[in-house]
Every structure is written in C-alpha cells, then in structure tokens.
C-alpha cells in the first residue's frame, strides 16, 4: 500500500505515540511590528565660490510612494533541520519547500540517507521529499555493524539526531561524530538526560563532547528527566522531538532558567504540525 502523501511548507504527518509534558515553559504572544514611513531629509553644505550663507542648503528627498515586486527569503537552518528530522520520524511522506541550502542541512540529509530513509532533492526549486520511517529507521533492521553518522560541525544535526537514534534506532549501534571543532562542542547534558530516560549512550572519549556512541535497546524507555535549560535549548529540542516515540510517557523538568525560549516554542509549534501535543 503506498504511503499517504501530503505537501506542506513546513511538513506533515502524524508522530504521536506517547504523552509528553514539559514544565516551566511559558509561551510568548506573537508580536506585530509597524514601521512608519517618513520623508528623509539630508542637510549638507554646498561648496561655492561665494561666501557661505548663515544657513546651509537643504535637500529634501521625498519617500518612494510604491514598491512592487517579489522577494524570496532564504529558508531557516533551525526550521529546516527540525522539519527534516520530524519528517523522518513520522509516517507517510513529507514535502518540504524553500529548504535552506547549507552545511547543516547537507549533513542532516546525508545522515537520513545513511539511516535508510528515502530522500529526494530538487535543488532547482529548493524542495525535499522525505519518506517517513514510522518511528524505526530502516538501517537498524539490516545493519549488523556500527552505523557511522558523520555530521561535520552541524550542531543542529548532532544534538537532535543523538536523541532520535536512541528512540528510533532499534537494536543497532551508532557512532555520531564530526570534524575536530565538533569534538569541542558540549553534548554531555543531553547524554545525561537520555541516560535518565533509560538510554545506553555515552561520550566515549570522556570529554562530554562528541563522538557519541548509542547502543540501541529497542527504543527509549521513558520516565522523568531533569534537564538544565541554561546551556543550550537544543538539548530540550532534541528530547522533545524524540519523546513521542518513547516506550512510555516522558516528563521533562527544566531545573533552572531556560534560554532561547523562542527556539523551544518553534520546536513545539512544528511538532503540533506533525500531530504531537506537548
């Protein structure tokens, strides 16, 4: 039976399997900014052979009354990689338009292919089509060797994928690594949070930075995790996107001040587009 297909600017399909709750988050109201157009005045002294007058010459530039045309803004790195991973974890097919072209997106797409997902790209129109895994990455069913995911210096791929392979990686083993700079970027808080939820995961060089090894246990057991929000909102984002696939309910408690709240709200709104209530 062919997979159901939807076409959305930001993604589609259902992801929800278990309940997810987050404590101590507050949503901000949307803001509307209005700019008022005013005449632009430029005051300048004009050089002449005559003696300067007491008051400088004045040039008044009238505002343009009308501008017409089409502007196409580039996609967002943060939005693009969140949508790609949510699409990969979901059932069915997701079509993503205006996908950003960048290193982070390149490494995410490459990782999804390594995980056995169907990924189609049309760079001419900035479109990607992702065939969802339904919560279990295809590569985990076939591979007997350690699956290597090389992610360059893409933090927006490394952190959420670490949680995703725990939740959707079956019983396979994974190593997530990158360039030397990536090996200096902290991920220890996320690894500790996944351990609290029953995952077998570690930074095996002992640095609290990648490379990260994940030994699959058939999914993410679930439970309650206490997480610091003061280091990076990407840790919370990673847990939020993986939590709906957990074998049991997941409760995330933020133990201190949460930074980058708009990015967390972005994650929650995108998850709602994929059918998940947080």
The 10s digit of each residue's pLDDT in 120-152 is 999 999 999 999 999 999 999 987 899 999 999
Q: What is the pLDDT of residue 217?
A: 94
**Number of domains into which the chain is organized:** 1
Within-domain flag for 30: no
Whether the pLDDT of residue 114 is over 70: the answer is yes
**The CATH number of the domain where 185 resides is what?**
3.65.10.10
Q: What is the pLDDT of residue 67?
A: 82
Whether the pLDDT of residue 5 is over 50: the answer is no
Q: Can you tell me the distance from the alpha carbon of 173 to that of 159, in angstroms, rounded to the nearest whole number?
A: 17
* Torsion angle (degrees, nearest 10) of CA 82, 83, 85, 87: 160
Query: What 3-state DSSP class applies to 195?
Result: helix
Phi and psi torsions of 55, nearest 5°: -105, 135
- Whole-structure pTM value: 0.78
Q: What is the pLDDT of residue 58?
A: 85
In this predicted model, which residue has the larger pLDDT, 43 or 197?
197
Within-domain flag for 55: no
Instruction: Please report the DSSP string for 129-157 in residue order.
Output: EEE--TTS-THHHH--SPEEEE-TT-HHH
Residues facing residue 250 across a β-bridge: 20, 223
pLDDT interval class at 119 (50, 70, 90): very high
Decide if 55 contacts 43 (C-beta within 8 A).
Answer: no
Within-domain flag for 167: yes
How much is the average pLDDT of 250-260? 94
Within-domain flag for 94: yes
> What does the pLDDT look like over 47-85, one tens digit per residue?
445 555 566 678 888 888 888 889 888 889 999 999 999
Within-domain flag for 179: yes
Q: Can you tell me the distance from the alpha carbon of 127 to that of 12, in angstroms, rounded to the nearest whole number?
A: 14
Q: Domain span at residue 269?
A: 7-25+74-273
* pLDDT > 70 fraction of the chain, expressed in percent and rounded: 80
């Amino acid at each position: 039976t062919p997979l159901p297909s939807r076409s959305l600017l930001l993604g589609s399909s259902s992801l929800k399997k278990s309940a997810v709750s987050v404590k101590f988050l507050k949503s901000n109201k949307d803001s509307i900014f209005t700019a008022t157009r005013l005449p632009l005045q430029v005051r300048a002294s004009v050089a002449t052979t005559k003696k300067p007058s007491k008051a400088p010459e004045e040039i008044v530039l009238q505002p343009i009354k009308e501008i017409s045309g089409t502007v196409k803004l580039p996609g967002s790195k943060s939005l693009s990689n969140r949508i790609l991973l949510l699409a990969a974890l979901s059932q069915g097919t997701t079509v993503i338009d205006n996908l950003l072209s960048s290193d982070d997106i390149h490494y995410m797409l490459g990782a999804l292919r390594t995980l056995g997902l169907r990924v189609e790209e049309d760079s001419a129109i900035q479109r990607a089509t992702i065939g969802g895994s339904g919560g279990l990455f295809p590569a985990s069913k076939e591979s007997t060797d350690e699956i290597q995911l090389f992610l360059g210096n893409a933090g927006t791929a490394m952190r959420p994928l670490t949680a995703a392979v725990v939740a959707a990686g079956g019983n396979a083993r994974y190593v997530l690594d990158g360039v030397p700079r990536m090996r200096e970027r902290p991920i220890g808080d996320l690894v500790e949070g996944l351990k609290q939820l029953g995952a077998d995961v570690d930074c095996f060089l002992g640095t609290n930075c990648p490379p990260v090894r994940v030994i699959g246990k058939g999914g993410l057991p679930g439970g309650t995790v206490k997480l610091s929000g003061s280091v990076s909102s990407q840790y919370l984002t990673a847990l939020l996107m993986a939590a709906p696939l957990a074998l049991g309910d997941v409760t995330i408690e933020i133990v201190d001040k949460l930074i980058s709240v708009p990015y967390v709200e972005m994650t929650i709104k995108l998850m709602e587009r994929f059918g998940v209530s947080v």
